[in-house]
Amino acid sequence: MTQSNRPFRSVLYIPGSKERALDKARTLPADAIIFDLEDAVAPDAKDAARATLRDEIDKGGYGKRARLVRINGFDTPWGNADVAAFRGADIDGILLPKVNSALDIETLAEMISDVPIWAMMETAAGILNAREIAAHPRLAGIVMGTNDLVKELGARPGPDRAEIQTALQWSVIAARADGVCIVDGVYNAFKDEEGLRRECQQGRDLGFDGKTLIHPAQIAIANEVFAPGEEELALARRQIAAFEEAQASGQGVAVVDGKIVENLHVATAKALIAKAEAIAAMAEG
């Protein structure tokens, strides 16, 4: 699967230090995994986690799940060793935390070739520079770091995330301007299914491709919310058929359920069907 048609509905963080969780992930229905060496790993466990993780990735068994490794930043004692340890590893990307500008992406790009780079969007400077970050030629995706962002802004987390709406929307705009993937931040209360569902729906409606998750119990809800629904797909198929019929009789537009269907709606309908097909391919194991 290429990056562009790969589903990123459910993106599960796994601390690189937790062997049991690293193994469990081989059977979990997440579209992607972020193997974490940064904030989920304590300072005195960094070196061991890095070695454990490289071993587990070399063992394989993660199937079609996209594999991203979140390294420590270059302003820490571990960033350089993290990059060095994953040279030549079978991964789909390196995720750089606390990206402030395109220069940070360039620093990583010069250290390692041939690996797509992902950026954590979680600092005030990063949000302001979202456009140049997304536009870096090696940048393949963006992950919102909403906990760090709230902290950096000195904001107070509210029920509908009003305090970070501007940052979320600005980041989606930047990602779309350069055609890169973008995944929403985590929902901390991992036992609150209704709250998670609401936040997934909010992220989906803002344009995100999926949600980062912290616990396996969150996967099914994200997979469901970020997948095209049966009704949506049925409408898409009717729009495509109606448009083709209209064109065959010399019309430029069609009408379905009392609403106009133009070229652009057909493009959206086809993209939706392609997404459903990519998801089905994912499930084929």
Binding site for ligand COA (CB under 6 A): 12-15, 20-21, 24-25, 36, 39-40, 186, 190, 214-216
Closer to Mg ion by Cβ: residue 171 or 239: 171
Residue 239, number of CB atoms within 10 A of its CB: 22
148 binds, among Mg ion, ligand COA, none (CB under 5 to 8 A by kind): Mg ion
Least distance (Å) between residue 160 CB and ligand COA: 20
Stretch that binds Mg ion, among 14-22, 139-147, 175-183, 237-245 (CB under 5 A): 139-147
Closer to ligand COA by Cβ: residue 12 or 266: 12
Closer to ligand COA by Cβ: residue 7 or 15: 15
Contact 144, 183 (CB under 8 A): yes
Segment (H or E) for 57: helix 46-59
CA distance 30 to 260: 37
Closer to ligand COA by Cβ: residue 15 or 116: 15
Number of residues engaging Mg ion in binding (CB under 5 A):
3
Among 36, 56, 92, 148, binds Mg ion (CB under 5 A): 148
Closer to Mg ion by Cβ: residue 31 or 36: 36
Terminus-to-terminus CA distance in the chain, angstroms? Answer: 13
Least distance (Å) between residue 132 CB and ligand COA: 25
* Torsion sign across C-alpha atoms 20, 25, 27, 28: positive
- The residue among 213, 193, 217, 197 whose CA lies nearest residue 205 is 197
Closer to ligand COA by Cβ: residue 188 or 263: 188
Residue 119, number of CB atoms within 10 A of its CB: 30
184 sits near Mg ion (criterion: CB under 5 A): no
Give buried/exposed letters for 165-180 (b at 16+ CB in 10 A, else e): eebbebbbebbeebeb
Please count the CA atoms within 13 angstroms of the CA of 284 that sit on its side-chain side.
Answer: 7
Among 93, 145, 185, 203, binds Mg ion (CB under 5 A): 145
SS3 2: coil
Closer to Mg ion by Cβ: residue 72 or 218: 72
Least distance (Å) between residue 239 CB and Mg ion: 40
Least distance (Å) between residue 126 CB and Mg ion: 11
215 binds, among ligand COA, Mg ion, none (CB under 5 to 8 A by kind): ligand COA
Q: Who's near 40: CB < 8 A, 6+ residues apart?
A: 13, 14, 15, 16, 17
Interface with Mg ion (CB under 5 A): 122, 145, 148
